[in-house]
Structure 1
C-alpha cells in the first residue's frame, strides 16, 4: 500500500529525528501520538502531526500496530528513506520515472509530476477539497523536495515563474531500474 501524506521535508536527513523520536516506543493511540508530536516538535496542528505519522510509517521509522503507533528500531539512513519513498509513497515511482527522462535543459517540475498523476488522485480527495489541484501540486513539490533530500533528485533550475526544475540525482534513476 502506498501512503498519500508528504510533509514538508526538513533541511537535512537528521531533521527527521525529532519527529521520529516524538513517537513512543510503546504503542500509543493515534491521537496521543499526534499530541506528542505537536508537544515535542514544531508541528502546530493534529492534521500535520497525523501526516507525519503516516509518512514516518511509509519510511518504516514508525509502525502502526493494533494498539497504535510506535517507534521502530530501524536506523535512519538515506537508503532506508529512499526505499520507503520508492515503495510506499504514492506517486513517488512516477516522479522517479519522470526524473529519469529529464535533462538539465528540460528538467521536471512539480507541475509535470502533477500532470502525470492528476488523473489518479483519489476521488475522495477531489471531492473533499475544492482546491484539490493546488493541494496536490504542493504535494508534488514536497515530494520532489524529499527526493532531493536523499539524492534521488537534484534541483537544477527555477523557471521564470520561480518553479524549481529537477533531474535524477546521484542515487536516482538508472536505466532499467524498476520502480
Structure 2
C-alpha cells in the first residue's frame, strides 16, 4: 500500500521522532490521535495532524488497528525512514527516478514527467486545480528527499544523491 498524504518537510528528522512519540501506545481513535498531535506538536489544524498521522503510517511508525491508531515500536532511523519513504509514499520512487539525470531538474520538469502518473480519478476530483495540488505534492516529495539525503538542490534544480 502506498500513501498519498505528505506533510511539509520539517527542519530536521528529529521532528519525525517527536511526531511518532505523540501517537499513543494504547490504540486511540483518529480524533484522539489528531488531538494529541495538535497539542504536543502545536499543529495549526486537525487536517495537518491527520496528514502527519497518515504519513507516520506510511513510514511504518504508526499503525491503524481495529481498535484505533497506535505507535509502532520501530525507531525512526534515517535508513528506515528512507526505505519506507521510497516504498510507501505515492510518487516518491517515481520522483527520485526522475532525478537520475546528470543535470539538475526543476520542480516543473519533475512534475511534467510525473503528471501521467496522477490517478485519473484525482484529476476529476480536484477538477480545475489538480495540477497545482499534484505539483505541490511533487515539491513536497523533493523537500523530503533532501531532508532524507536522497536528493540535493543544485543550480536551481534537484539532483539525486544516491
Do Structure 1 and Structure 2 share a fold, with TM-score over 0.5? yes
Residue 123 of structure 1 is matched in structure 2 by 120
Matches within 5 A, 1:16-27: 16-27=16-27
Q: Measured at CA, do residues 125 and 35 of structure 1 come closer, stay the same or move farther in structure 2, by a change above 3 Å?
A: farther
Residue 73 of structure 2 is matched in structure 1 by 73
What residue ranges of structure 1 are gaps of 5+ in the alignment? 159-164, 173-179
Instruction: Report the Cα offset of residue 18 of structure 1.
Output: 2.1
| Structure with the bigger percentage of helix | 2
Instruction: Report the Cα offset of residue 122 of structure 1.
Output: 2.5
Match of 1:60, SS?
Answer: coil
Residue 138 of structure 2 is matched in structure 1 by 140
Match of 2:155, SS?
Answer: strand
Instruction: Report the Cα offset of residue 108 of structure 1.
Output: 1.9
Give a deviation string over 1:87-132, Cα, whole Å, max 9, x none. Answer: 101111111111122x2xx212222222122122223332332312
Residue 109 of structure 1 is matched in structure 2 by 106
Matches within 5 A, 1:25-174: 25-101=25-101, 103=102, 106-129=103-126, 130-158=128-156, 165-169=157-161, 172=162
CA distance in 1, matches of 2:12, 2:155: 20
What residue ranges of structure 2 are gaps of 5+ in the alignment? none
Q: Provide the TM-score with structure 2 as the length reference.
A: 0.92
CA distance in 1, matches of 2:125, 2:94: 24
CA distance in 2, matches of 1:125, 1:30: 24
CA distance in 2, matches of 1:56, 1:118: 25
Instruction: Report the Cα offset of residue 17 of structure 1.
Output: 2.1
Q: Is the 8 A contact 1:94 1:113 kept in 2?
A: no
- Provide the aligned length of Structure 1 versus Structure 2: 161
